[in-house]
Amino acid sequence: MKKRRRLKSFLKGMVITFGVVIAVEAFILYGAPMLGIDLSYVTETINEAKANLFDTIDTNAASSSSHLSPNGPMEGTGKPQSSSDLATPENTGEEYSFDATTYPYREMLSSDEQSVYNQIYANALSYNTDNFTLVTTLSEDELCDTMNCVFNDHPELFWLNTSYQYGYNKSREVVQVCLSYGISNNDLSQAKTAFDSAVSTIVSGASSYSSQIEKELYIHDAICDLTTYDTNAELNQSAYSALVSGSTVCAGYARAFQAVCQNAGLTCYYLTGTASGEDHAWNIISIDGDFYNVDVTWDDSISESYGSSVYTYFNLTDSEIGSDHTRSDLANNLPSCTATEESYENVYGSTIEIDDITNDGGQITDGNFSIKEPKEPVTDWHDEGGPQEPTAPANDGGSQEPTAPANDGGSQEGQAPEGGNPGSMNPQDQFQAR
């Protein structure tokens, strides 16, 4: 809004100035000759000034361009880019292939968008801070969707910020991109070690359970135990903020759940939308071949209020979670959730249900809710037989890694997680989802 006001004031001043120039030019062209005065050199100067004026107006109007999509957190700022300044595309990422089951958002893109997706992934992976020329031009909308698809598919790129810059040509086609990062390059190695260690520790614990729903529950509870909701948390759009720093918002909870589930061999997706009318993020997970909605953020908030673990938003159908959650357009392309076989109630028994929550306004994380005591005691899944015969902890990494040689920090080797931020961190850009 401030940018618009400044632009409006600037344009108003230019119009007034232009009017004065026109009046002076009229006198020079018509009044001066009638008086016998030769001012041709002044005419040339005025023509040059007018040309510069139009160039200035075009440049200022264009440089204020910004692009934000309702399909995710990525926000770009664009400016004109001369084609003569473009380098040959490098680090294109063409060597990477991505499994459609693990990376569903890439499958939603056109072939040109998929090529840029690979390039964005490769440059984020290599921590490229320079401008790079795209392998093919995209519209601003196409680039924004592509950036969000990379973000949504890859929680392991926790150092990637949600803001980026881009350059476009005279046809308004995007030709160049520059990424930004929330962790300095000097601190990245230490951050990767801490992140991998945290993921590995939870995956190791989950591997003691034989059924997929028990693995899911273990991961769900581990993230709730590690994390608290905090809108002021640094890097709060990343899985790192939940798994290492221990404070985050909904995006951090959901991306942490996605990252750990993927590494535990469970198919899990990140999605954005709205909850109680405000931006929000949660997950879809596949358990025994069927898809379910999971909102770890809201379960954690309800559990903290109730005083013990509850599973209100665990393995819900679209119809059930749809009472207060709505998917974004992009997330509507993810699988539907209609099965009930692996709901908490069907497998383990009673828990706090959505009907037991009275929301007095806003999201659950705002704290404006009350809980009615359920008709039946809440069942603790740990008491229902516990884990099956334990198997040796395995770090199988799931199917998260793309099939290409890369040192992307996604390996899950490491020691027990350490809290706190590694070295000096740059705050993650604020995101709408809460």
Tell me the pLDDT tens digit for each residue of 153-171: 999 999 999 999 999 999 9
The more confidently predicted of residues 46 and 332 is 332
Fold of 193-383: C8orf32 fold (3.10.620)
d(CA 73, CA 164) in angstroms, rounded, equals 11
Compute how many other C-beta atoms are within 10 angstroms of the C-beta atom of residue 218.
22
Averaged pLDDT, 304-329: 96
pLDDT bin (cut points 50, 70, 90) of residue 247 is very high
- Asked whether 276 and 434 are in contact (CB, 8 A), the reply is no
pLDDT at 228 over 90: yes
Packing angle between helix 296-306 and helix 212-226, nearest 10 degrees?
70
Identity at 270, one-letter amino acid code: Y
- Asked whether 125 and 423 are in contact (CB, 8 A), the reply is no
d(CA 410, CA 393) in angstroms, rounded, equals 18
pLDDT 10s digits, 357-381:
998 888 899 888 999 988 788 898 9
pLDDT bin (cut points 50, 70, 90) of residue 12 is low
pLDDT at 395 over 90: no
The more confidently predicted of residues 421 and 16 is 16
3-state secondary structure of 80: strand
* DSSP letter (8 states) at residue 35: T
Question: Domain map of the chain by residue range?
Answer: 2-63, 74-181, 193-383
Question: Between the CA atoms of 381, 385, 388 and 390, what dihedral angle is there, to the nearest 10 degrees?
Answer: 80
Closest to 245 in 3D by CA, of 417, 434, 416? 417
Average pLDDT across the chain, whole number: 82
pTM for the structure as a whole: 0.77
> Which stretch of DSSP H or E encloses residue 343?
none
pLDDT bin (cut points 50, 70, 90) of residue 389 is very low
Contact residues for 249 (Cβ-Cβ < 8 A; gap 6+): 229, 230, 231, 233, 236, 237, 297, 365, 431, 433, 434
Q: What is the pLDDT at residue 218? A: 98
- Asked whether 95 and 52 are in contact (CB, 8 A), the reply is no
pLDDT at 51 over 70: no
Q: What is the pLDDT at residue 274? A: 95
Q: Which of these ranges, 73-87, 88-102, 285-299, 390-404, has the smallest mean pLDDT?
A: 390-404
Averaged pLDDT, 207-213: 97
Q: What is the pLDDT at residue 27? A: 57
- Asked whether 39 and 28 are in contact (CB, 8 A), the reply is yes
Closest to 332 in 3D by CA, of 284, 276, 262, 275? 284
Alpha-carbon distances, residue 167 vs 60, 138, 162, 163, 333 (angstroms):
14, 11, 17, 14, 29
210 phi, psi to nearest 5 deg: -90, -35
Q: What is the pLDDT at residue 15? A: 54
Q: What is the pLDDT at residue 432? A: 47
* Residue 286 burial class via C-beta count within 10 angstroms: exposed 0-12, middle 13-18, buried 19 and up: buried
Q: Which percentage of the chain shows pLDDT scores above 90?
A: 66
pLDDT at 429 over 50: no
d(CA 40, CA 45) in angstroms, rounded, equals 9
pLDDT at 409 over 90: no
pLDDT at 299 over 70: yes
Alpha-carbon distances, residue 244 vs 54, 223, 256 (angstroms):
52, 10, 10
pLDDT bin (cut points 50, 70, 90) of residue 428 is very low
Question: Between the CA atoms of 94, 334, 299 and 257, what dihedral angle is there, to the nearest 10 degrees?
Answer: -20
Token readout for 44 is 């040339």
Q: What is the pLDDT at residue 402? A: 61
Q: What is the pLDDT at residue 368? A: 86
pLDDT bin (cut points 50, 70, 90) of residue 394 is very low
d(CA 259, CA 252) in angstroms, rounded, equals 10
Question: 250-260 burial string, b = 16+ CB within 10 Å, else e?
Answer: bbbbbbbbbbb
The more confidently predicted of residues 116 and 24 is 116
Q: Which of these ranges, 17-26, 84-93, 317-326, 420-429, has the smallest mean pLDDT?
A: 420-429
pLDDT at 425 over 70: no
Closest to 418 in 3D by CA, of 240, 254, 259, 296? 240
Q: Which percentage of the chain shows pLDDT scores above 70?
A: 72
Token readout for 308 is 């013990």
Q: What is the pLDDT at residue 13? A: 59
- Asked whether 37 and 28 are in contact (CB, 8 A), the reply is no
d(CA 114, CA 103) in angstroms, rounded, equals 12
Q: What is the pLDDT at residue 269? A: 98
pLDDT at 266 over 50: yes
Packing angle between helix 140-153 and helix 111-125, nearest 10 degrees?
60
Token readout for 48 is 């040059």
pLDDT at 67 over 80: no
Q: What is the pLDDT at residue 303? A: 95
Q: What is the pLDDT at residue 72? A: 81
Question: Between the CA atoms of 19, 21, 27 and 28, what dihedral angle is there, to the nearest 10 degrees?
Answer: -160
The CA radius of gyration of the chain, in Å to the nearest whole number, is 27
